[in-house]
Amino acid sequence: MALGVRKLSFALGAEITGLDLRRPMDAAAAAEVRRIWLDNLVVVIRDQDITPQQQVAFGRHFGPLDDHKSLPFYRLEGVPEIFLITNKLVNGKPSETKDTGRLWHSDHSFTTHPTMASALYCKEIPEVGGNTLFTNMYSAYDSLSDGLKKLLDGLEAVHDIRDYAPFRSRNAEQRAEMHRINPAVAQPVVRVHGETGRKALYVSEALTFRFVGMTEEESAGLLKFLWRRSVQPEFTYRHEWRPGDLLMWDNRCAMHMAPADYAPGQPRLMHRITILGTPCGRLYSEQSTVRAAA
């Protein structure tokens, strides 16, 4: 099957044409999507008119789907594989997912089974904005000097959900529960991609504040440099959503963030599926301290 491919930016991202996901994808088409996705880190299939079940069927071509126990918010009624990201009221209350992804991150890096891929299907989007930004972490790693690469290759960093700034405003009970479900983990600072064999930086401003074996103060300078380097404009792609876009990214080699770049009153609704990954990192048992609230 010949699919069309159009690159969306120099750094990462490609649009795939020639698919209608109302019809089941065959194995050959799925293999081609996977190849395009591995080459481009982010793929977008536009103008799709699919049901939640059809989105789930698409995701299953790439691996088993997460049931979202590590972030136990909204699942679509009857389709627990679909997680709702929305600023709309849910059961008359402000949505728990309205500020999802405000800082750069890679999904579920705070677990020992981080998500391989996430795919959002855009249902509603504000008149302007509501964009999502992506960055290529292979490029970030490749851009470093040999000396720094060598230093980083042997390091691990702590990823702890309690350090995630937007969660600090949640109540103590909710935070304790989040930590119980997701104890701190140590992840390699340089992650080797299981399919491409390429090295990618794997630290984020959302979740990484210290290297294993170092204090937060000692780690801060180098981590800040890495966060900044990771998101240099030339490594990024900014997606302007249209309803009907299905976009899938690779969490092993890309980070993403969703700025609050839209009028708060305007509805934004995404249906997300999360494709499970292979184990990465280890539980971090050393006594870990919570960062003082800023």
**Residues in contact with ligand OGA by the rule CB under 6 A:** 85, 100-101, 107, 118, 120, 132, 256, 258, 270, 272
Shortest Å distance, C-beta 272 to ligand OGA: 5
Shortest Å distance, C-beta 100 to ligand OGA: 5
Reference 100, options 164, 163, 45; nearest CA is 164
Measured from each CB, the residue nearest to Mn ion is 101
> Which of 252/272 has CB closer to ligand OGA?
272
Instruction: Say how far residue 113 (Cα) sits from the centre of its chain.
Output: 13
Shortest Å distance, C-beta 256 to ligand OGA: 6
Residue 107 designated active-site: yes
> Which of 124/216 has CB closer to ligand OGA?
124
Contact string (CB under 5 A) for Mn ion, positions 155-184, x = contact: ------------------------------
Shortest Å distance, C-beta 118 to ligand OGA: 5
Which backbone phi and psi does 33 adopt, to 5 degrees? -60, -40
Residues 6+ apart with CB under 8 A from 59: 65, 81, 117, 119, 273, 275
3-state secondary structure 125-143: CCCCCCCEEEEEHHHHHHC
User: Contact, 41 vs 70, CB < 8 A?
Assistant: no
| SS3 state of residue 283 | strand
Give residues 85-144 in contact with Mn ion (rule: CB under 5 A). Answer: 101, 107
Number of residues that bind Mn ion (CB under 5 A): 2
> Which of 13/211 has CB closer to Mn ion?
13
Burial 204-228 (b: 16+ CB within 10 A, else e): bbbbbbbbbeeeeeebeebbeebbe
Position 205 contacts Mn ion (CB under 5 A): no
Distance CA 217, CA 212 (A): 12
> Which of 58/110 has CB closer to Mn ion?
110
Measured from each CB, the residue nearest to ligand OGA is 101
Shortest Å distance, C-beta 256 to Mn ion: 6
| SS3 state of residue 158 | strand
State the catalytic residue, choosing from 68, 239, 252, 272: 272
Residue 272 designated active-site: yes
> Which of 14/258 has CB closer to ligand OGA?
258
Reference 55, options 35, 77, 81, 73; nearest CA is 81
User: Contact, 184 vs 159, CB < 8 A?
Assistant: yes
State the catalytic residue, choosing from 107, 160, 163, 245: 107
State the catalytic residue, choosing from 105, 191, 210, 239: 105
Distance CA 281, CA 95 (A): 31
> Which of 204/219 has CB closer to ligand OGA?
204
Residues in the chain: 294
Please give the residue ranges that form the binding site for Mn ion (CB under 5 A): 101, 107
Task: List, by residue number, the catalytic residues.
Answer: 105, 107, 256, 272
